[in-house]
Structure 1
Amino acid sequence: MKINIKEMDEFLVELLSEVGKSLLVDSKKDKSVGTKSSRIDLVTNFDKSTEKWLVGKIKEKYTDATIFSEEGYGDVVKDMSGLVFFVDPIDGTMNFVKRRDDFASMIGVYLDGKPFLGAIIDVIKQEIYHGGPDYGIFRNKEKVISPKNQSLPEGLVDISWPMVVADRFNSQAVVQKSSGLRIYGSAGIIFEHLIFGREVLYMSYLAPWDLAAGRVLCESLGLKVSTIDDSPVNMLKSQVVIVGTEKVVSEVLKTVKK
C-alpha cells in the first residue's frame, strides 16, 4: 500500500490540534463520569465524543483503514494487515477528571503490522509529538534527537502504582536500583518524558491504544519496547510492557525474571 507519509503526518497533527483545543476547554467543564472495568477506570462524555469525531475524520480520509479504538466507535480488528489506526481519545481520564492536568490524546498508525506513524498531544502544553521511523520525530515542528542511552541507576522510572504496591515482577527492586520513582497516570505524558530522556523506564499494563502511538515514537528514537517476558509485542491485546533505553530494558528484564 502506497501512502504519502508527510500528508498523513500532517493529517494526524491537524486532528490532534483540533482535539487539543477542545479538550483544553472541556477539562474545565462539568463532566458526565462513568466507570468501566473498575472504580478507577473512568470514562466521560468527552472521551466518547472525542473518539467518535476522530474515528469519523479518519474514516473519511482513509476509507480502507481499520480503526482500533478505546471506547468502541472503531472496528473489530482481528489482524494487523493493511492500514490500522489506534485511537485513544483521552489518555489519563482520571487526571482529566480529578486534576485537569497531565492528560493526552493519541493516534498510532501501523502498516501491515509495522509501526508507521504516531502522534501524541500533551493537551495542557498544547505540544504535539509526532512522526515515525521513516520520517523522523518532531515536537510540533522541531525535530527531536534520540535520548542518551542511560542505565537504570542514572535515571528516573515510571511504573504503574498497582504494580509497585503489589511488588509485581520485582518492580520494587527495579525502583531501588533507579534514581527514583515517578507516577503520572498517563501513558502519553510518560512517552513524552521518555523521548526527551527525562525518565529512562516505563513499565505498565497497557491496552493497544495506550501503547500504539508511543511505541512508534520511542522505537523511532532508538528506545526499546518489550513485553515482560521479552516475547514479541502483540498490538491486538493488552499486556505488560517495558519501554526504555536499551541499557535499562536489558537490566530490567533480568530483574523481573528473578
Structure 2
Amino acid sequence: MEFQADKIDSLVPQWLMTARKMILESFSQKIEIETKTSRNDLVTGLDRKIEQFLVRKIQECFPGSQIVSEETRPTINEIEEEGLLWIIDPIDGTMNFVKQKNDFAIMIGIFRGGKGQRGFIYDVMADRLYHGGPDQGVYCNYQKMKSPPDVPLVDGLLGVGGVMLINNKYNLQKIALASHGIRIYGSAGIEIIHVLNGQLIGYLSHLHPWDLAAGKILAETLGLVVKTIDGREVNVLSSIDVLVASKNAQKDIIMMAQSHC
C-alpha cells in the first residue's frame, strides 16, 4: 500500500484533536474503569472509545492498512511488515489519566515495509503534538525541533520504569545514582517526549509495541539511540526492555549495566 505522506500529515492531527475533545468532555462524566493484568494495569471505556474512533478513521481513509492497538490487538505473528502498519496507543498512561488527569498521551506510529515513516505523540493536557519522520524531521506543534545535546549520563536526568528500578534490574540503582537524578512519569509517551526535548538524557523501561512505535520513529529521526540494554536492534513488534537515549548516555548506561552481569 502506498504511503500517502501529505494525507497522513493532514488527517492524523485532526483525529488527535477530536480525541482530545472526547477526553476533556469525559472529565465531567463517570468513567468506566476496569483492571487488566493487575490492579495497577487499568483500562477505561474511554481508552476503547478513542481506539475505536482511530481504527474507524484509519480503515475509512486508508483501507487495507494493518492495525496493532493496545486494547484490541491482533496476533503479532499475523502482521505483514510489507504493508502499511499503524501501531496505536489510545491513552498511554491510563493510571495518570484516571488519578491525575495529566501526564498521558495518545500515540500513533506508522510503518511501511517494516520502516518507520511517521510518529505522532500527543501530550493531551499540554496540547503539544510531537510529529514527524525521517523524510521531514520532527516538529512540536509545527515548529521544527533540533536534535537534543549528546549529554553523558553524569550530566543528565534519567527516566526509568518504576518496577525495573525497584528490582534493580541491569544495576539500575547504581546507574540512577550516577546520573543527576531519576524521573518516573508513568507514561512512555511523556518520558520519550522529555528525551526528545533534551530534558532527559534517556529512558529505560519494558515497552510493548504501542508504547514504543511512535517514539522510536521520532527519537531515531533526531539522532537518538533506540536499542535494547545490551545494544541490539529493537523489533518494534516485540515487547522488550528498551533504552531511548543520547549516544553518550547510552554508552555509559550499557557499560554500567554490563559490569553487573
TM-score when scaled to structure 1?
0.96
Indicate how the Cα distance of structure 1 residues 75 and 128 shifts in structure 2: closer, same or farther if over 3 A, else same.
farther
Distance 1:212 1:169 in 2: 23
Residue matched to 1:184:
185
Which residue of 1 is the match for residue 56 of structure 2? 56
Please tell me whether the aligned partners of residues 67 and 75 of structure 1 are also in contact (alpha carbons under 8 angstroms).
no
**1:90 is matched with which residue?**
91
Structure 2 residue identity aligned to 1:90: I
Q: Secondary structure at the match of 1:146?
A: coil
Q: Which range moved further: 145-154 or 223-232?
A: 223-232
Distance 2:167 2:75 in 1: 35
SS at match of 1:125: coil
Task: Name the % identity.
Answer: 40
8 Å CA contact 1:66, 1:75 repeated in 2: no
Unaligned runs of 5+ in 2: none
* Cα 1:172–1:125 shift into 2, 3 Å: same
Contact 1:5 1:135 in 2 (8 A): no
- Alignment coverage as a number of residue pairs: 258
**1:119 paired residue number:** 120
Counterpart-to-counterpart distance in 2, 1:59 and 1:231: 34
| Distance of 1:203 and 1:242 partners within structure 2 | 4
The answer to whether the 8 A contact 1:17-1:121 is kept is: no
Return closer, same or farther for 1:47/1:181 CA change in 2, 3 Å cut-off.
same
What is the CA RMSD across the aligned residues, in angstroms?
A: 1.4
Query: 1:46 and 1:104 mapped to 2: Cα distance?
Result: 13
Counterpart residue number, 2:206: 205
Matching residue's letter, 2:54: L
> Equivalent residue for 2:70?
70
Deviations 1:189-230 (A, max 9, x none): 111111110001100000000000011111110111001222
Instruction: After TM superposition, give the deviation of residue 73 of structure 1 in Å.
Output: 6.1
Asked if the contact 2:105/2:189 (under 8 Å) is kept, the reply is yes
Deviates more, 1:57-66 or 1:20-29: 20-29
> Matched residue of 1:257: which SS?
helix
2:74 & 2:66 partners in 1: Cα distance? 7
Alignment correspondent of 2:16: 16
Shift of 1:74: 6.2
**Do the aligned partners of 2:3 and 2:84 also contact (CA within 8 Å) in 1?**
no
The answer as to 2:38 corresponding to 1:38 is: yes
Q: Distance in 2 between matches of 1:55 and 1:237?
A: 21
Determine the C-alpha separation between the residues in 1 that align with 2:86 and 2:52. 14
**CA distance 1:73–1:161, shift in 2 (3 Å):** closer
Match of 1:105 in 2: 106
Query: How far apart are the structure 1 equivalents of 2:29 and 2:242?
Result: 34
**Contact 2:3 2:112 (C-alpha < 8 Å) held by counterparts:** no
TM-score, normalised to structure 2's length? 0.95
Q: CA deviation at 1:28?
A: 4.6
Please name the residue that 1:236 is paired with: 237
